[in-house]
Amino acid sequence: MTKAKALVITGNGTNCETEAAHACKLGGFDEARIAHIAELLTGEVSLDDYHFLNLTGGFLDGDDLGSAKAQANRLRYATVEGKEERLVDQITRFIADGKLILGVCNGFQLLVKMGMLPALGGNYLNQTATLTYNECGRFQDRWCYLKVDPASPSLYTRGIEGGVYLPVRHGEGKFLVDDAKTLEAIEAKHLTCLKYSGKDYAAPTMEFPENPNGSLNAIAGICDETGRVMGLMPHPEAFVHRTQHPRWTREELPEEGAGLIFFKNAAKYVKENF
Ligand SMILES: NC(=O)CC[C@H](N)C(=O)O
């Protein structure tokens, strides 16, 4: 059987790579390689050798020019040393090959600013959305209830009943789109797979602090039409074990944290399809 291989990109200011790689291993990947972005640009590491690409959280380029904007340009226009291709060509081939990409927080900002989400009509290089400053004007570090859309094509949220409780920590998490048509399309296609909600996961909310950033339609995460590319502001890799929960000493909790399902679903998909 094929070895399920995950790749986590680090460098230029990411800070969640160890947790992301740990979550991949716990979720069932046989290998989780942390590679510096320079290793991809020099051609030492190629996306072609992996199944699951993780773009992690952090402060890429110090959030200068807006979070992840500089890295988005770097990944879109930089060529791979000694090759006729840009790194972005490797990424679009990766998607065309049926592989998986998960962008968390700064990684979500990166995917959106590269144009890879929501990628309506399968156009992965056309920016139609953004993530900008939280409505409250401050960095938010808190845990949020996230309602899952069961009709969403996202493979990562499969099997989640109701919703998940996960931490957010960001200054630029307010999701916006370019026009009403984009919003209508992503809602109609159920690409808006995760929304901030109350504790009962009953309905999306625009109320602060349940919705920590004022995101349009309470959107916390979206996927593309294939369901294989997903980005979200909350951090699933930061809740893979009971002890990461803020009230773990006071509440009866299962051993497994609610975020692990994202990585388990990814590993399962790779094992079934490659
Ligand atoms: N945790 C993160 O990845 C933070 C993302 C980004 N630097 C922000 O503050 O919005």
90 alpha carbon – ligand 1 mean position (Å):
25
Ligand 1: does its nearest atom lie under 6 Å from the Cβ of 71? no
Fold classified for 5-273: Rossmann fold (3.40.50)
Kindly compute the dihedral angle of the four CA atoms of residues 179, 232, 204, 244, in this order, to the nearest 10 degrees.
-160
* CB of 171 sitting under 6 A from ligand 1: yes
- The confidence score (pLDDT) of residue 3 equals 96
Compute the distance from residue 169 Cα to the ligand 1 centre, in Å. Answer: 6
Instruction: Please give the distance, rounded to the nearest whole angstrom, from the Cα atom of residue 84 to the centre of ligand 1.
Output: 33
Using alpha carbons, select from 56, 77, 52, 76 the residue that is nearest to residue 12.
56
Catalytic machinery residues: 105, 235, 237
The reply to whether ligand 1 has any atom less than 6 angstroms from the CB of 13 is no
Please list the pLDDT of the chain residue by residue as tens digits (274 residues): 689 999 999 999 999 999 999 999 999 999 999 999 999 999 999 999 999 999 999 999 999 999 999 999 999 999 999 888 999 999 999 999 999 999 999 999 999 999 999 999 999 999 999 999 999 999 999 999 999 999 999 999 999 999 999 999 999 999 999 999 999 999 999 999 999 999 999 999 999 999 999 999 999 999 999 999 999 999 999 999 999 999 999 999 999 999 999 999 999 999 999 9
Q: Is 21 exposed, middle or buried (0-12, 13-18, 19+ CB in 10 A)?
A: buried
ipTM of the predicted assembly exceeds 0.90: yes
> Which of 12, 56, 65, 105, when mutated, tests ligand 1's pocket best, judged by the most ligand atoms within 8 Å of its CB?
105
pLDDT at 2: 83
> What is the atom index within ligand 1 of the atom nearest the CA of 58?
3
- CA–centroid distance, residue 15 to ligand 1 (Å): 10
Q: Are residues 183 and 216 in contact, defined by beta-carbon separation less than 8 angstroms?
A: yes
Taking the C-alpha atoms of residue 183 and residue 187, their distance in angstroms, rounded to an integer, is: 6
Report the distance separating Cα 129 and Cα 126, nearest Å: 9
Nearest to 262 by CA among 130, 164, 135: 164
- HSE-CB at 47 with a 13 A cutoff on CA atoms is 28
